[in-house]
Structure 1
Amino acid sequence: MSFESSGEAQAEHIIETVPAGATLHIALDLEHCGDFFAHPPTRDEVDAILGPLLDRLKQHHGAPPVIYATSHARGPGCTGRQATVSRELAKT
């Protein structure tokens, strides 16, 4: 996942690359790099990207993506949305 492009654009790229009906869950790598390591995005900034990305991928693939997040990235910026996705994935 990139903090430099919209969730919608990232979802469309994944959808073009990975066909519907794939047998493995899509995995998103959530980590801070470059300037974002020293200045992580706020929860609102993460939600503005991650929310549409997760929603679109779940809609297209029928299951929410798996999120891999580094310990640094699992801070206040992503904890709430990540917990929701983890609960949804446990139901599939």
Structure 2
Amino acid sequence: MTGTNNENPGNFANRPKEEVQEIARKGGQASHSGGFASMDSDKQRDIASKGGQASGGSFEPGSERAREAGRKGGSATGSAE
């Protein structure tokens, strides 16, 4: 690698000058074409109208893990009363 002792490939100092210039030429353009922003507006509207219901979440509804997380979520940590 070049530039610094940091070998993180996301660090532009570690990339060849030509590669950095090519990235800079793209400006703010997305590096990939996936995701919500690339969907047509009707599909975006359909997903948005579900208001998060389309997400499966992390817990099985009514499970002990979900109840425990709910209890923990309501408790404050390190607060002075």
What range is the shorter-chain TM-score in?
A: under 0.3
The structure with the largest strand share of the pair is 1
After TM superposition, the score normalised by the length of structure 2 is 0.18
Q: Which of the pair has the greater relative contact order for Cα pairs under 8 Å at 6+ separation? A: 1
Structure with greater Cα Rg: 2
The structure with the largest helix share of the pair is 1
